Amino acid sequence: MSNETLSAVFENIVKSEDNLIRLCQDLIRFPTVNPPGNDYQACVEYIGNRLKSRGFTVEYIRAYGAPGDSADYPRYNVIARYETGRVGPCVHFNSHIDVVETGDGWTKDPFAAELIDGKIYGRGACDMKGGLAASIIAVEALIASDIELKGTIEISGTADEESGGLGGVAYLAEKGYFSKDRVDHVIIPEPLNVDRVCLGHRGVWWAEIKTHGRIAHGSMPFLGDCAIRHMGAVVASFEDKLYPAMAARHTSMPVVPEGAKQSTLNINSIHGGQSEITEGLPAPCVADSCRMIIDRRFLVEEDLDEVKREIDDILSDLEKLRDGFRYEVRDMLEVIPSMTDKDAPVVKATAEAIKEVLGKTPEFICSPGTYDQKHIDRIGDLKDCIAYGPGILELAHQPDEYVIVEDMLNSAKVMASSAYKLLMGKSS
């Protein structure tokens, strides 16, 4: 039974508490804010140096030519690989090293990583340097134990997840680092709570819709054609047709929170007409153009082409109904939904490990937003991938973000146990 074998590993993790806290604090103190993509090289070298001293082979991979990659802001990634020398699968822990901007409202220094009452505060504490630190401690404890492990363990620290992952996991997957030749099981320690297994995420379509008009004097709008009124008709049509249709569509995906269990559309922004050059001096013209940015999140049951067609049908109906209505749609971002099977090995191993460590049956969820699983699935064609980590989902990107040390310790045990089961073929 793995319980006895692993008890020494769990004990080692508990004893490593100070080490775990220091590691997490060190990681937070690299202000790897993205954009612009600050301090990546120093952060990956810190991870690489640590793991090299534990017997890992370390590779630094810069995503030359990726969006944002420059001499000032190089997109650096690190992959550390530990071969046991015995035949077996490869378990990979992937964490992004970038964090979002701090924003207002902090009562703590976002990069001081203060430890207060069992919580470490800082930008990225929850999303996701706490998860990265926990995975490193988990793997170090496994390697240090007497267990004759099989196979290979990899840990990566990757760039740019917060801006789409093109200079990080997508780049590495294109180069074959995430491929069936090299990796079998992937755990991404994103902050989705210590007792939940995240199977995947919904899809995304970002687009710009533009309506056209004709400029004229503001006192005689009947001589022009107002692009903003045309856009108003688009919004009204969304309210009448699109929102009710989306609300009626439910998914088998266990997305959290509840409101994200259906298709959603956010209207991110609308810009129309000439801009006011000076405050108090309005532009005296009829608006000849108007732009809207939409963020459509869709379900595994939906097809991206149909998602697009649904909006295009609304726009082409308006073209028939409204004199002068002309429009354009421009794609900005497309992400296909990803969901790992509940019976997949990494799901079962992690669920069993959660039961073992926390004594409760884990919840299976999907994320409302996307993360790097999309690239591992679509580019790497690796289907055995989940997100599992210690942070609290709701704290991600918030002021006074923190991670709870006890959650890190528990998730480190879960990750060690899950990796053990996968490497040794012990999952039921």
Q: For binding to Zn ion (CB under 5 A), which residues are involved?
A: 127-128, 190
Spatial distance between the Cα atoms of 75 and 371, rounded to a whole number of angstroms: 18
Could you give phi then psi for residue 25, rounded to 5 degrees? -65, -45
Please identify, using beta-carbon distances, which residue of 145 and 367 lies nearer to Zn ion. 367
Least distance CB 409 / Zn ion (angstroms): 20
Please identify, using beta-carbon distances, which residue of 128 and 311 lies nearer to Zn ion. 128
- 68 conformational bin, left if phi > 0, alpha if psi -120 to 50, beta if neither: left
Q: Are 207 and 286 in contact (CB under 8 A)?
A: no
Please identify, using beta-carbon distances, which residue of 69 and 127 lies nearer to Zn ion. 127
Least distance CB 335 / Zn ion (angstroms): 15
Could you give phi then psi for residue 205, rounded to 5 degrees? -130, 115
Please identify, using beta-carbon distances, which residue of 127 and 302 lies nearer to Zn ion. 127
Spatial distance between the Cα atoms of 406 and 307, rounded to a whole number of angstroms: 43
Please identify, using beta-carbon distances, which residue of 89 and 168 lies nearer to Zn ion. 168
Least distance CB 285 / Zn ion (angstroms): 44
Least distance CB 76 / Zn ion (angstroms): 18
Q: What is the DSSP code string of 279-313? A: TT----B---EEEEEEEEEE-TTS-HHHHHHHHHH
Least distance CB 34 / Zn ion (angstroms): 11
- 200 conformational bin, left if phi > 0, alpha if psi -120 to 50, beta if neither: left
Least distance CB 336 / Zn ion (angstroms): 19
The tokens describing 238, both together, are 């969304």
- Looking at the DSSP bridge assignments, the partners of residue 94 are 156
Closest CA to 405 of 3, 116, 77, 206: 116
Least distance CB 225 / Zn ion (angstroms): 45
Q: Are 187 and 122 in contact (CB under 8 A)?
A: no
Closest CA to 338 of 193, 194, 199, 130: 199
Please identify, using beta-carbon distances, which residue of 39 and 190 lies nearer to Zn ion. 190
Please identify, using beta-carbon distances, which residue of 209 and 393 lies nearer to Zn ion. 393
Least distance CB 282 / Zn ion (angstroms): 42
Least distance CB 178 / Zn ion (angstroms): 17
Least distance CB 305 / Zn ion (angstroms): 29
CA-CA distances (angstroms) from residue 55 to 140, 249, 346, 401, 418?
10, 51, 25, 33, 21
The tokens describing 40, both together, are 């990546």
Least distance CB 190 / Zn ion (angstroms): 5
Please identify, using beta-carbon distances, which residue of 127 and 401 lies nearer to Zn ion. 127
C-beta nearest to Zn ion: residue:
127
Please identify, using beta-carbon distances, which residue of 367 and 410 lies nearer to Zn ion. 367
Q: Which residues contact 10 (CB under 8 A, 6 or more apart)?
A: 357, 413, 416
In 160-238, where does DSSP find H-type helix? 169-174, 227-237
Please identify, using beta-carbon distances, which residue of 48 and 131 lies nearer to Zn ion. 131
Please identify, using beta-carbon distances, which residue of 128 and 353 lies nearer to Zn ion. 128
CA-CA distances (angstroms) from residue 178 to 93, 168, 173, 191, 404?
11, 11, 5, 21, 30
Q: Which residues contact 274 (CB under 8 A, 6 or more apart)?
A: 283, 285, 287
